[in-house]
Amino acid sequence: MPLDQPPENDPAYDPEHYRAQDGPEPERKKLPNDHTMPLGDHIEELRSRLVKMLIGVVIALVFTVIYSFQIISWLAQPLLHVQDMLGAPSPPIQTDPTAGFTSVYMPVVLIAAVIVAAPWIIWQAWQFIVVGLYEHEKKAVYILAPFSTIMTALGVMFTYYILLPVSLAFFINFVSFYPEYDLTSKPSLVTRTVLDPYMGNTGSDLPEDFVFDTEPMSIPVLESRPDKPAEGDLWINADRERVEMFFDDQIRVVSQRSTKLITPLPAMNEYVRFAAVMMLGIVAAFQLPVVMLVLGWTQIFDPRGIGSLRKYALFGACALGAVLTPSDPFSMLVLAVPLYLLFEFGLLLMKLTFKKRGDETPAEL
């Protein structure tokens, strides 16, 4: 006889025994909304969440526009510091007259708005998913939102303070290995024959008996920058082979010696694209522990199965490090190591949450 229709007239019938076997049926199978949402309602809910995501990005965009130039200045600091320490010409140049707005200003404020609104975007995505979860699974949102915010901030800081300086230092310093150009040799006979008629009079139009009544200015040569320069001080920095001046409370480069075959002159729009793509990718990669926490909390994957994929996770971290960074091996390793550590951290979170939920009785799940 089925257990859901017990023989109540049976003398051996024990109601508590049957309830213990069946479990609290309404709590176990009842969905949060107590009904199955039609496909049309799902699509409408998705549209509503996407609109709310967009509104969040627009609100964040207002703040990034207000502080746009401060954000651009902050983003440029790693490049300026690396150029200054390596003695490379600075600041970045700009060849396209429209790039200052189209390729620098707009990408920076838009990407900054997306990063600022990332926790709100994740919250709305979770709210779309949560309608099909049980009550105990919905509790993950209280950890998900702040945890995602923290990982977003860590991704931005890691990119800004570690990965960008390492990548820039490698590529800009690599130019120093090129030989210096040599102009001591005479041009070929063909070069002289072709160009001599176009050289014109390279002498001066001054009279032959003209005498200059000034003496050449003497500029002090210093081994390094002075500790406390005064306004208007001018000196030659022998360490970095350039003329510097202290003006308007900051040191400015007046002239830079460069005898290399290649002079590093990065354009600002190219640097912004380089930094922004890297930062967006790393912020997304830093959400891995958040995703693994949700997978463990909702019991979708067993952490023991995920733990058996460590060698593939290591390979994936190296591959992702190569994709998100330039082609230099240093940047790839600098990113691959924390990515794998994030996988291990996420796996630990999966084990903790999976074990916590797994200790409960099936009726509570």
The 10s digit of each residue's pLDDT in 121-131 is: 878 887 777 76
Residues 363, 272 within the same domain: no
In a domain, 363, yes or no: yes
Q: Cis (ω within 30 of 0) for the bond into 91?
A: yes
**pLDDT tens per residue, range 207-254:** 666 676 667 778 888 888 888 888 888 888 887 778 888 888 888 877
Helix (H) / strand (E) containing 241 = none
Q: Is the pLDDT of residue 51 over 90?
A: yes
173 and 298 assigned to the same domain: no
Model confidence at 74, pLDDT cuts 50, 70, 90, reads very high
- Min mean pLDDT across 17-31, 107-121, 131-145, 211-225 is at 17-31
Question: Do 365 and 300 share a structural domain?
Answer: yes
Residue at 144 is within a domain: yes
User: With bands split at pLDDT 50, 70 and 90, how would you rate the model's confidence at 26?
Assistant: very low
**Confidence class of residue 41 from pLDDT cuts 50, 70 and 90?**
confident
The pTM assigned to this predicted structure is 0.68
Do 65 and 142 lie in a common domain? Answer: yes
Share of the chain above pLDDT 90, in %: 13
Q: Which residues contact 276 (CB under 8 A, 6 or more apart)?
A: 107, 108, 111
For 343, the domain range is 293-365
> Does one domain contain both 126 and 148?
yes
The per-type count for the chain, helices as H runs and strands as E runs, is 16, 4
- Residue 258: the pLDDT is 65
Same domain as 121, residue 67: yes
Say whether both 271 and 306 belong to one domain.
no
Range among 6-15, 21-30, 254-263, 341-350 rated most confident: 341-350
pLDDT digits (tens, 9 = 90+) for 288-300: 898 888 787 777 7
Per-residue pLDDT band at 29 (split at 50, 70, 90): very low
Q: Do residue 170 and residue 303 come from a single domain?
A: no
Question: Cα separation of 155 and 116, whole Å?
Answer: 12
Of 176-185, 241-250, 342-351, least confident by mean pLDDT is 176-185
Q: Based on the domain organization, do 96 and 137 belong to the same domain?
A: yes
Higher pLDDT, 2 or 94: 94
Structural domain contains residue 101: yes
Q: If you average pLDDT over every residue of the chain, what do you get? A: 77
Residues 310 and 276 in one domain: no
Total domain count for the chain? 2
Alpha carbon dihedral 126, 128, 133, 134, in 10-degree steps, equals 80
Residue 229 falls within a domain, yes or no? no
Coil, strand or helix: which one is 4? coil
Determine the average pLDDT of the residues in 357-361.
47
Poorest-pLDDT segment among 90-99, 130-139, 231-240: 130-139
180/76: higher pLDDT: 76
**Do residues 301 and 274 share a domain?**
no
Asked if the structure places residue 133 within a domain, the reply is yes
Which span out of 107-116, 174-183, 238-247, 288-297 was modeled with the highest average pLDDT? 107-116
- Given a cut of 90, whether residue 60 has pLDDT beyond it is yes
Collapsing DSSP to helix, strand or coil, 91 comes out as coil
